[in-house]
Amino acid sequence: MPKAILFDASKCSGCRACQIACKSWNQRGATYTTNTGSYENPPQLTSECWMRIKFNEVDAGTADTPDIKWRFTKYQCMHCEEATCVKVCPSGATAKHKVTSGDEEAYVVMTDAAKCVGCNYCVATCPFKACRYGEADKSVFRCVMCFDRISNDAASFPHMQQFGKEWTEKMQAEFPRNIPACVQTCTTGALSFGEREDLIKKAKARVDYLKKEKKVAGAQTYGIDPVGGVGTLRYLYVLEDSPDAYGLPTDPKVPAGVEGWSLLAKPMGAFALGGMVVAAALNYVIHRRNAGLESKEEGV
Amino acid sequence: MTNHWVDLKNSDVHMVCGSNPTENHPCAWKWVEESRTKLGAKVIVVDPRFTRTASKADIFSFLRPGTDIAFFGGLINYAIGKNYIQWEYVQNYTNAPFVVDPSYSFDQATGHFNGWDAEKKAYGAAAAIWKWVYTDAAQTTPARVALVDVDNMPAARGKPVGPVDGNGNFIPRRDDPLFGQTVFAALEQHYSRYTPEMVEAVTGMPKDKFTQIAELYCGTTYKNDKSGNLQYAMGLTQSTVGVEKIRTFSVLQLLLGNTGLPGGGINALRGESNVQGSTDYALLYQYLPGYLPAPEADKLNSRAALNANYGADKVSGFWLNEPKWLSSLLVSWYGKYAKENLDRAFDLIPKKEKAGSDYSHIPLFEAMYAGTIKGLITWGQNPPVGGPNANLESAAMDKLEWYVAVDLWDTEAMNFWRRPGVKPGEIKTKVWALPAASSIEKSGSVSNSGRLAQFRWKAVEPPGEAKSDLWIVDELMNKLKELYEADTNAPAREAITELFWDYERDAEGEIEVENIGLEISGFTYPTDVKDTKDFWDKARKAPVASFAALKDDGSTACANWIYGGIWSSEADAASYADKVGVPKEQVSRYRATWQSQFEGKKIFADQAEMGIYPMWGYSWPLNRKVIYNRCSMDVNGEPWGKNKALVRWNGAGWDRYDVPDFTVANPDTSVAVPAVSAAAPFIMNNDKGAQVGKVFTNATKEGPFPEHYEPRESPVKNLMNGAQWNPAIVSEYQSAKDDPAKYGFAEVGSKDYPYIGITYRVTEHWQAGAMTRNLTWLSEAMPEMFVEMSESLAGKLSIKNGDKVEVSSVRGKVQGVAIVTLRMRALTIGANGSKQEVEVVGLPWHYGYIGDFPGGPERGKIPPRSYAANQVTPHVGDANTTIPEYKGFLVNLKKVK
């Protein structure tokens, strides 16, 4: 059963508690930023910033009767069904990792830092520009949907154990703990985590509500149906306007050649990793090339 | 809050004005969202800026800073005009039917109510000027007029009967000659000037938008089974008319029948986790703990005088019990010394010099500037960033002989002597910095906006030499005692030497916090005490059940009567233990500790899904969640609506989900029928025979009805009346008189300072910034000082988004990065024929010159300039509270290289 996160933009207040919680749980550092004339910061995803809230201002009204909208979007790796990064990864570092053993559909896309050769093919080809290379760890990073939380039984959380099984079960029913950090910290209920099927129902019901009760003509979902060339997403969105207005790509393009490349690169990568000397040489070349690559990506 | 956070889910319409909950109280918003899904609630947001909260509104409107009274007054006028009045409520639960004293008048030409002394340029004591008529010489029964036909016409009480309008609402008896003499008629006349056109002219809110908002708020919530609430914060209070702004909306809430109902009321969203607690425990100078008035040396300088004062103007209502609360407070402070002689103990406590003495923030810093105050201790306060007119306040600190700062971080306050632009060698102040423990590094209770006290246990040890506030106070007190004991000639020596300071200590020698909890709750003072442990053992065995059990003879001790009963009865503690499923020995009887480790609806059943949770912490008074809850029912004790039930008369007694805030039993302990409480639904109101909601008040300094006055600095003349600013404020402190060019004000319509400045907070930072400008994750998200402005203003001044700009006022300047945004707009104001546009410039006030992120591009070092927004704000405040006017002052703006 696929798992997913639902982001309901109609409930998001842009408080960015999720952005901070992500850094807190995943032990990401901060960078010195500057104000560039917006509340939005950091200016882009990096190896230290796996998700961020985008702020988009639009005036949907006329000069006399302004109708200002401030659109907040949670932006991070979408954990695509047809993940480009998985296809292009030569070393097998980036792969779909199963959340529940034996359940192929319940996956998150993750990069194993120990295996990552730093080739940056995934960074270059990601249609969402959602994975980023980190020089310090010599690996690519992205949202991992808090794999370490969601793949664990809540009862194994250290702070839960003192209260015993019965209490833990009660708490789990009411306030589940083994959910992604961003979801747990969300103040307004804009984020939820669970079975993708359940969230699809929830998202559709919310869109119906927004259209009927709130007269939001542009209400729509994103990520439920296949998007661009990457299939369906494991991040679902309820939006009050077109994905464009939120800074989400309406038709994320997978660069031509990815399919062919994956056929070529994978065996090569496996071969390279097979020989220590070759691997070390490859690593050296690639990392040299990557120096300074971190800051050059456009802001998403 | 009259209500509480969870109760926001019971509201049908939210008026968010003067607050920014999604940014500054993010967790509150989930209850607003719940009201939307549960009741289809609507959200109105009115603000000078389009905030993150505004992005979640059903209707948003801009409003010129400081003009809320014009807007709210317009709502009152609209509600009366459309007959959106909850008549049963207004007739029975408010003073609208009272007959106004003939001396009442309002002169639009001068902007003054009756009682203005032109020579002294002041009003006299409010209660002596603004009055209603009594039918008897003893003044026990106010004269009442039936505003609508009611079923008990002689008493002018009861259920409305008679003719109705097209909406099915009762039609007022305007033909009755007495009608014109009532509070209601005076109110109607006063606000008849607040037409939609005037609202637009004063506030800049377009007339159509105003009508849309008024129709939604008034037209929905005047209905019996609907409620609307005001969520306000510093956007209303930080003003020279702060109290009056809130009062205007309070009057509207009474007219619409919204106060006392679930989802209704007047909700102050407190800006700090424990700011409610700090006022409850008398951080405000005008009170002793529990809002008992502070004694005055020239008038109330004996206990008898203070008690007589309570008796003199408080002949009814439970404030009559104030002497008991004062007595118990004295015993908690002075122990045996007070028990033996209460008057002697009273003499020892500090007093205000005279009735009007103001010891709030602004006057204190004026006194430091004048050299009157020579030493200062601050606890978690950062005046060079947070104080108004920060340049003046820093200069005032230069004159101190000594200064002690207790804080978590290195702050601007600790470093005022080396702020940008001064020579440290020239400042002689001796400065100590005491490192304090943070909220997770110490144990103690906090009280949130909903008056709910909750305990927090220490989670980790404080770093280095940091100590809890209690430890610091304890050390300070022990040293003072030692010094005073040694000096037999010390003035008022007993004030220190006789102070009760005998607490049980934990293994580390620190005061047992639960002793304090019991002291706050109250106990019968033990006799024949052997030692400290024996004292507290006996006290634990004799707690008072509530403040009702306190005595005025020195036999009871209680440090804060409003929390009387927070130490639970044994039966309640056992019941709690049973529900939680732990042995009762494990449960503290200190109710503030009953909470979060056992969170969850399934464990603590909510009361009828009204969000009451009576076994979670303790809400003062008496664990009551919604105050004035008699008003949630009609005169017969039937709740106004299915979704609005808190208490109900079942024919023989009272079914209750919440603790009743009215008389449920007669003195003979028989059940009090609904008629008893219907006649006195506001028992905390201390007026004679008039325990009802005050549409007409005798308790604020400006007058019986709120009137619009411009901010002290304004780009325009007051259109509503002849007074430019609130006549009751101190319009100029000594600093401004002595040095107007440096610390004074811009004139009305100033050409040099043509724009309106406002200050505010953002989600990512906390108050004066010490706690967040040193946290890299938060500072990364909001790294430096910025200035928000409209596209039109930026265009005029050739400022591009991201440029560096400078904001200046008479008092100083501050630089930041320009955010040119759709979310700020020029507002069109002025009467027809003289329309003009005014621009608003927005400044967050978190930044300064110390810390990892001081406020500008410099990191981790003292920058060449300060980035504190308060360098441009003025030293002027509200007439009743002296809260500084941060919302609406005059500035100029320019691009800098």
Residue B313 main-chain phi, psi, to 5 deg:
-115, 10
**C-beta of residue B473 within 8 angstroms of C-beta of residue B379:** no
A67 touches chain B (CB under 8 A): no
pLDDT, residue A288, reads 45
B783 vs A17, A33, A189: nearest CB? A33
Q: Are residues B512 and B585 in the same domain?
A: no
d(CA B691, CA B685): 5
pLDDT in tens, B717-772: 999 999 999 999 999 999 999 999 999 999 999 999 999 999 999 999 999 999 99
How many domains are contained in chain B? 6
Model confidence, pTM: 0.95
Average pLDDT of A65-82? 94
* Token duo for residue B615: 């076994």
User: With a cut of 0.85, is the ipTM above it?
Assistant: yes
d(CA B814, CA B806): 6
pLDDT, residue B305, reads 86
Integer CA distances (angstroms), B491 to B295, B301, B335, B457, B839, in order: 19, 17, 20, 39, 56
B780 vs A13, A41, A70: nearest CB? A41
Has residue B694 been placed in a domain?
Answer: no
Has residue B474 been placed in a domain?
Answer: yes
Q: Provide the 3-class DSSP secondary structure of residue B591.
A: helix
Q: Are residues B474 and B516 in the same domain?
A: no
Strand partners, A109: A96
B605 touches chain A (CB under 8 A): no
B802 vs A29, A37, A57: nearest CB? A37
Find the residue in A nearest to B33 (Cα). A188
Q: Residues of A with CB below 8 A from B801's CB?
A: 36-38
* Token duo for residue B482: 């030692």
Contact at CB, B22 and A16, closer than 8 angstroms: no
Chain B nearest C-alpha distance from A41 (Å): 5
Contact at CB, A187 and B60, closer than 8 angstroms: no
One-letter-per-residue 3-state SS of chain A:
CCEEEEEECCCCCCCCHHHHHHHHHCCCCCCCCCCCCCCCCCCCCECCECEEEEEEEEECCCCCCCCEEEEEEEEECCCCCCCHHHHHCCCCCEEEEECCCCCCCCEEEEECCCCCCCCCHHHHHCCCCCCEEECCCCEEECCCCCHHHHCCCHHHCHHHHCCHHHHHHHHHHHCCCCCCHHHHHCCCCCEEEEEHHHHHHHHHHHHHHHHHCCCCCCCEEECCCCCCCCCCCCEEEEECCCHHHHCCCCCCCCCCCHHHHHHHHHHHHHHHHHCHHHHHHHHHHHHHHHCCCHHHCCCC
Chain B nearest C-alpha distance from A99 (Å): 28
Residue B776 has pLDDT above 50, yes or no: yes
Contact at CB, B52 and A70, closer than 8 angstroms: yes
Contact at CB, A187 and B26, closer than 8 angstroms: yes
Find the residue in B nearest to A39 (Cα). B782
Chain A nearest C-alpha distance from B72 (Å): 22
pLDDT in tens, B318-330: 778 889 999 999 9
* Token duo for residue B325: 């609360």
Strand partners, B268: B232
Where do the domains of chain A lie? Answer: 1-29+40-145+180-300
Q: Residues of A with CB below 8 A from B781's CB?
A: 16, 19-20, 33, 41-42
- Which residues are CB-contacts of A39 (< 8 A; sequence separation ≥ 6)? A14, A55, B762, B782, B819
Has residue B174 been placed in a domain?
Answer: no
Average pLDDT of B308-320? 64
Average pLDDT of A82-102? 91
Q: Are strands B375-379 and B106-107 parallel, antiparallel or unpaired?
A: unpaired
A175 touches chain B (CB under 8 A): yes
From A50, A114, A126, select the one nearest A88 (Cα to Cα): A126
Q: Are residues B253 and B297 in the same domain?
A: no
Q: Are residues B539 and B576 in the same domain?
A: no
pLDDT, residue B596, reads 46
Residue A259 has pLDDT above 90, yes or no: no
Q: Are residues B470 and B514 in the same domain?
A: no
Q: How sure is the predictor about B604, in pLDDT bands with cuts at 50, 70 and 90?
A: very low
Best probe of the B interface among A187, A191, A214, A215, by most B CBs < 10 A, is: A187
Contact at CB, B53 and A58, closer than 8 angstroms: no
Q: Are residues B287 and B387 in the same domain?
A: no
Has residue B700 been placed in a domain?
Answer: no
Q: Are residues B805 and B873 in the same domain?
A: yes
Domain boundary among B248, B270, B292: B270
Find the residue in B nearest to A168 (Cα). B598
Amino acid at A155: A
pLDDT in tens, B563-598: 999 999 888 889 888 877 778 888 899 999 887 444
Domain boundary among B563, B579, B603: B563
Find the residue in B nearest to A42 (Cα). B781
Q: Residues of A with CB below 8 A from B779's CB?
A: 30
Q: Are residues B516 and B421 in the same domain?
A: no
Q: Which long-range contacts (CB under 8 A, 24 or more apart) does B122-127 make?
A: B122/B728, B123/B701, B123/B702, B123/B703, B123/B727, B123/B728, B126/B697, B126/B698, B126/B699, B126/B700, B126/B701, B127/B313, B127/B698, B127/B699
Which of the residue ranges A282-296, B288-302, B488-502 would you say has the lowest mean pLDDT? A282-296
Find the residue in B nearest to A191 (Cα). B30
Contact at CB, A30 and B820, closer than 8 angstroms: no
**C-beta of residue B35 within 8 angstroms of C-beta of residue B11:** yes
d(CA A134, CA A144): 15
Which of the residue ranges A57-61, A268-272, B177-181, B803-807 would you say has the lowest mean pLDDT? A268-272
Has residue B149 been placed in a domain?
Answer: no
Residue B784 has pLDDT above 90, yes or no: yes
d(CA A165, CA A260): 51
Chain B nearest C-alpha distance from A176 (Å): 11
Q: Residues of A with CB below 8 A from B764's CB?
A: 16
Residue B315 has pLDDT above 60, yes or no: no
Has residue B691 been placed in a domain?
Answer: no
d(CA B275, CA B451): 10
Calculate helix-pair angle for B322-340, B303-313, nearest 10 degrees. 170
Contact at CB, B779 and A30, closer than 8 angstroms: yes
Q: Are residues B800 and B882 in the same domain?
A: yes
Contact at CB, A36 and B817, closer than 8 angstroms: yes
B801 touches chain A (CB under 8 A): yes
Q: How sure is the predictor about B871, in pLDDT bands with cuts at 50, 70 and 90?
A: very high
Has residue B541 been placed in a domain?
Answer: yes
Best probe of the A interface among B580, B763, B789, B804, by most A CBs < 10 A, is: B763
pLDDT, residue B694, reads 97
A15 vs B23, B785, B820: nearest CB? B23
Q: How sure is the predictor about B313, in pLDDT bands with cuts at 50, 70 and 90?
A: low
From A265, A41, A51, A204, select the one nearest A141 (Cα to Cα): A51
Contact at CB, A70 and B30, closer than 8 angstroms: no
Domain range for B670 is 629-677
Q: Say which CATH topology domain A1-29+40-145+180-300 has.
A: Alpha-Beta Plaits (3.30.70)
Q: How sure is the predictor about B206, in pLDDT bands with cuts at 50, 70 and 90?
A: very high
* Token duo for residue B660: 């009743």
Q: Are residues B747 and B874 in the same domain?
A: yes
B596 touches chain A (CB under 8 A): no
Domain boundary among B638, B658, B677: B677
Residue A124 has pLDDT above 70, yes or no: yes
CATH of the domain at B391: 3.40.50.740
pLDDT, residue B299, reads 86
Higher pLDDT, B299 or A294: B299
Average pLDDT of B445-457? 93
Q: Residues of B with CB below 8 A from A66's CB?
A: 822, 825
Q: Provide the 3-class DSSP secondary structure of residue B583.
A: coil
Q: Are residues B750 and B886 in the same domain?
A: yes
Contacts A–B by Cβ distance under 8 A: 124
| Residue found by looking up tokens 């109760």 in the block | B7
CA dihedral B270, B272, B273, B278 (to 10 degrees): -80
Contact at CB, B55 and A70, closer than 8 angstroms: yes
Find the residue in A nearest to B823 (Cα). A68
Average pLDDT of A261-284? 52
Contact at CB, B780 and A30, closer than 8 angstroms: yes
d(CA A88, CA A44): 23
A245 touches chain B (CB under 8 A): no
pLDDT in tens, B106-154: 999 999 999 999 999 999 889 899 999 999 998 889 999 999 999 999 9
- Which residues are CB-contacts of B447 (< 8 A; sequence separation ≥ 6)? B274, B276, B277, B280, B453, B454, B620
Has residue B720 been placed in a domain?
Answer: no
Q: Residues of A with CB below 8 A from B56's CB?
A: 11, 13
Residue B498: count of CB within 10 angstroms of its CB: 19
* Token duo for residue B294: 């502070």
Query: What percent of chain B is modeled with pLDDT above 90?
Result: 86
Residue B896 main-chain phi, psi, to 5 deg:
-120, 155
B582 touches chain A (CB under 8 A): no
Q: Are residues B80 and B14 in the same domain?
A: yes
